[in-house]
Amino acid sequence: MSKTIQPIKQFSEVLNTIKSVREKVYKQVNASLIQLYWDIGKYVSQKVEKENWGKSIVQELSEYIQKNEPGIKGFSARNIWRMKQFYETYKENEKLSTLWAELSWSHNRRIMSLKTPEEREFYLKLCAKERYSVRELERLINTGTYERTMLAPKNMSEAIKQLPKSTENIFKDTYVLEFLDLPVPHKEKDLQTALVSSLKDFILELGKNFSFIGQEYRIQVGNQDFYIDLLFFHREL
């Protein structure tokens, strides 16, 4: 049996290496593509400003690219205008390039459509850190995660204030109240019950590093049993 297990373990190591390199290559290709879109956006933006380029010329540019590179996609006139918008959105804040270069074009298109620079920066950082999919990003935007996060310190309930200061920033009372329909004021037991009943979605709001272990989780110390109301695991702590 050991002769069988050992090669399988070695095969697994090779497979993990392949996956790791493939991920690095994907990131490099994506970063290069986003940088290309930035450069094209800058070029078109300057042409519009200095030489009065309009829809017809950008359409000609798109057709020229497709004629000379028939297999290439992503350079429709509409997408070229988006590249221009992309450049103009961040040209005054290029420090964010390390963030938008990590995200897909679909992520960037959605984020640059947001109204304020602060909101865009918030979601850029959030997606870069948590690796949210476009669908997850859309959900976070639609549920007002940015607004709730910014308002959270001003609207902390008494039950939340009983938690350690390091926890206050995580358990944002404004979205707990909205999402769980808690009364004002509410007791700690109300909060606990409501959290457990909607735990899956609640954990998603906190970030991917949180895992729920159990409710009324039993631990034994010596000959005594103790019960933890809610047990979570944070992978970075």
pLDDT at 123: 95
State the burial class of residue 141 (Cβ atoms within 10 Å of its Cβ: 0-12, 13-18, 19+): middle
Considering the domain boundaries, does residue 224 fall inside one? yes
pLDDT at 172: 43
Count of domains forming the chain: 1
Percentage of the chain with pLDDT > 90? Answer: 38
**What average pLDDT does the segment 204-219 reach?**
67
pLDDT greater than 80 at residue 182: no
Considering the domain boundaries, does residue 191 fall inside one? yes
Q: How far apart are CA 7 and CA 124, in angstroms?
A: 43
Domain interval for residue 234: 156-237
**What average pLDDT does the segment 81-97 reach?**
93
pLDDT greater than 80 at residue 203: no
Considering the domain boundaries, does residue 185 fall inside one? yes
Output the CA–CA distances (angstroms, integers) from residue 124 to 62, 91, 117, 121, in the order listed.
29, 15, 10, 5
Considering the domain boundaries, does residue 235 fall inside one? yes
Considering the domain boundaries, does residue 99 fall inside one? no
DSSP H helices, 91-214, are: 97-100, 105-112, 117-130, 134-142, 145-151, 158-161, 165-168, 173-180, 188-197, 199-206
Considering the domain boundaries, does residue 109 fall inside one? no
pLDDT greater than 50 at residue 109: yes
pLDDT in tens, 21-54: 778 777 888 889 999 999 999 999 999 999 999 9
Amino acid at 99: L
Q: Which residue has the higher pLDDT, 111 or 232?
A: 111
Considering the domain boundaries, does residue 172 fall inside one? yes
